[in-house]
Amino acid sequence: MESSSKKKSSHDYDAERAQKGNGSGRGMLARSATRIHTKKSLLGYSFVARTFNQGQAPRSEQDSETSSQHTTHRKSKSKSGGSPPMNPSEVMNERPENSPAELEDPESAQLLAKVEPAQTPQTRDGQVKQMESHIVALARGITELDNDRKRLQAQVRSARSGSWVTKSSRQIREELSNLEAAMRHWAENYSVGEIRALDSLPTEEKNAILERLGGYCAQVDWPTLIEKVPTVADNIPALLMQALLAKDIFGSIFANPFFAFGESKEPSTAHPAQTLSYLYASMLDVNKEEAHIWRSQTLRLLATPPPNSVNNAPLRAKVDAITSELAVDFLAGPVQLLFRHRNDSWAIQRNQELYQLYHTASELAISLWTQRSFMRCYCMDELPVFRADHPVMSAHTLHRQQGDDARLDGKNALIVVHPAIVAFGNEYAEHYDLCKVWAKGIILVDERT
């Protein structure tokens, strides 16, 4: 009893000293010593020593055993020769030995599920096909961008030098379509409205109209022609007038790049040796690509006015002169038999509009001949039989053909109202074995054949 009371008094004495030293370093040291003593008694000296000696966060014995197991596993691998080094892809595909459930860490399980999704062979095949399609699309896009870059560079160079800018096929088709519409309106406005208005004319004079349309009309006998188109006979004067105008404009202006020099036929060595058409045809026999480049560059230079000069381009005056001459010759031809007669002011307006048509056509033809592409006009010789699916021909609207209507297939062409315009090659003087349709031929078909 005395010993217990003495111990109690001794303990109370220590507590009393701790209270007196409250806030002082000695009091705090006393309390800390008490806690450390308690830890030593509860956890064991070895745990505390290991914690402070290694300078690491406390770990459980289970962790230590796990670490030793992994160490032993690595050593055993090393003794047996070890595993070969893995690629990053192999590292990503390697699975942990413990499953997420065994790790008992939901966040770790979710992370592993995101990093290493399960993939079946079908999924991998789908991904490979998707990647291949992306690569093909990317390659196609790169090619288109490269073509656009080349075209833009060519346009910039042309703008700086004042020369001609390359036109797109879409723009060319639109301009040719506008020209065809203007020619059609002119013929409809100034031709006689009824076929009986021509009954008083001698048959020989009406046959002269068909003879002038050689290559654009399959008939040379007026009565036979009218018999073949009884339902649209009143439209024949306007159709013949448009065909006459188309043959003259496209045969004289669009058929030869050097029409401004009076060379109205296609380039060939049949031209006199001193003509540009003869030189061009001779070059084509040697090297097509270089010949087309020469033709394009020659016309571009001639169509460009000299720098710092008030004079027009050398080719401009020639174009104006030749188009006026062609229009006068056309008015003096058999087409005058188809004119509707009213008064002098009406005739003056008709002639002025015709001059404008020739001028517009010549400007368009020059702009096309300055391109590196080479164009040809197709008429009756190339389009003798109609086919609805043919890429260079279409039936006249009078036939009221729609969609895939094939009722006219295999029937003979009667009148080529407008020729087909087909271009070969591109702006880089390449692929002259390939063609593109700039304008379809408009055909009046003989439905009775």
Beta bridge partners of 374: 424
Q: How do beta strands 420-424 and 374-378 pair?
A: antiparallel
Range of the domain at 182: 176-445
pLDDT of 307 reads: 77
- Which pLDDT score, from 0 to 100, does residue 132 have? 74
Examine residue 197 and state whether it is found in any structural domain, yes or no: yes
Closest among 285, 435, 294, 295 to 368, alpha carbons compared = 295
How is residue 216 written in tokens?
């654009």
Contact 415, 380 (CB under 8 A): no
H-helix or E-strand spanning residue 442: strand 441-445
Please indicate, yes or no, if residue 294 is contained in any of the structural domains.
yes
Would the pTM of this model clear 0.75, i.e. be above it? no
CB 373 within 8 A of CB 426: yes
| Token pair in block for residue 428 | 């880089």
In a domain, 156, yes or no: no
Number of domains in the chain: 1
Under 8 Å between Cβ of 338 and 299? no
Q: Could you please report the per-residue DSSP string of 130-194?
A: HHHHHHHHHHHHHHHHHHHHHHHHHHHHHHHHT-PPPPPHHHHHHHHHHHHHHHHHHHHHHB-SS
Find residue 395's DSSP bridge partners: 443
Q: Is the dihedral of CA 393, 394, 398, 399 positive or negative?
A: positive
Classify residue 47 as exposed, middle or buried by CB count within 10 Å of its CB (0-12, 13-18, 19+): middle
Would you state the pLDDT for residue 150? 59
pLDDT for the residue 378: 96
What pLDDT sits at residue 110? 41
Separation between Cα atoms, residue 371 and residue 164, nearest integer Å? 8
Cα gap 108→16, rounded to integer Å: 53
| Residue 4 forms part of a structural domain | no
The confidence score (pLDDT) of residue 309 equals 65
Residue at 395 is within a domain: yes
In a domain, 97, yes or no: no
Is residue 105 classed as helix, strand or coil in its secondary structure? coil
CA dist 252 and 307 (Å) reads 31
The vertex-358 CA angle with 357 and 359, nearest 5°, equals: 90
pLDDT of residue 26: 42
* pLDDT reported for residue 146: 67
* Residue 307, domain member (yes or no): yes
Q: In this structure, is residue 11 part of a structural domain?
A: no
CA torsion angle 200 206 208 212 (round to 10)? 140
Q: Which residues of the chain have pLDDT under 70?
A: 1-124, 143-144, 146-164, 309-311
Q: What is the residue type of 330?
A: F
